[in-house]
Structure 1
Amino acid sequence: DDLGNIRAYITESDPSSAASIANKILSSVTMLNETPHRGRPGRVPGTRELILPGTPYIIIYRVSSDTLQIIAVLHSSLNWP
């Protein structure tokens, strides 16, 4: 799971930041449930991307009529797609 991997990676170098970033990701996902079109149109057709302010992470997701699907949480330095 992306969130667990991100938290483990950050914990190795900065344990205090790991919880803060994980909480930002979780609160952003909660916000997306309420306003799913908040993110920009994604680079892959049918997806959207939410940049997480104050972090190097992007939430990649897809919205259908009644479902929000989180595809990935990626570091912005990674090539996507």
Structure 2
Amino acid sequence: ESAFDFIAQDNAHAAGAVVDRILSAVEALVRHPEMGRSGRVPRTRELVITGTPFIVAYRVRKDHIEVLAVLHGARRWPERFE
């Protein structure tokens, strides 16, 4: 289930706002790829999305950012990303 679908069950407007916040944060990663913290999974980084319970897991590649997942901070974290 996507973050949008989960939140939209209670409030579609709030779901849209959360998605916008996540997208804005990911766009900032393009300019500042090291702004997230070191990830729990080796060779990853994590960007906490301010004002939400979500965390973006990503990898910094030579010429791009690879978003691996957007996870709720309370969920069990995967041991690895494919």
Q: So what's the TM-score if we normalise by structure 1?
A: 0.91
Q: Residue 13 of structure 1 aligns to a residue in which SS?
A: coil
Does 1:62 find its partner at 2:59? yes
In the TM superposition, structure 1's runs of 4+ consecutive aligned residues that sit over 2 Å from their partners are none
For these two proteins, the number of residue pairs brought into alignment is: 78
Equivalent residue in structure 2 for 1:36, among 33, 36, 51: 33
**What one-letter code is carried by the residue in structure 2 that aligns with 1:46?**
R
Per-residue Cα deviation, 1:39-58 (whole angstroms, up to 9, x for no partner) = 00001110000001100000
The structure that is helix-richer by fraction is 1
State the match for 1:22 in structure 2. 19
**What one-letter code is carried by the residue in structure 2 that aligns with 1:71?**
L
CA RMSD of aligned residues (A): 1.1
Unaligned runs of 5+ in 2: none
Q: So what's the TM-score if we normalise by structure 2?
A: 0.90
Over the matched positions of the two proteins, sequence identity in percent amounts to 41
Unaligned runs of 5+ in 1: none
Give distance in 1, aligned partners of 2:64 and 2:20.
22
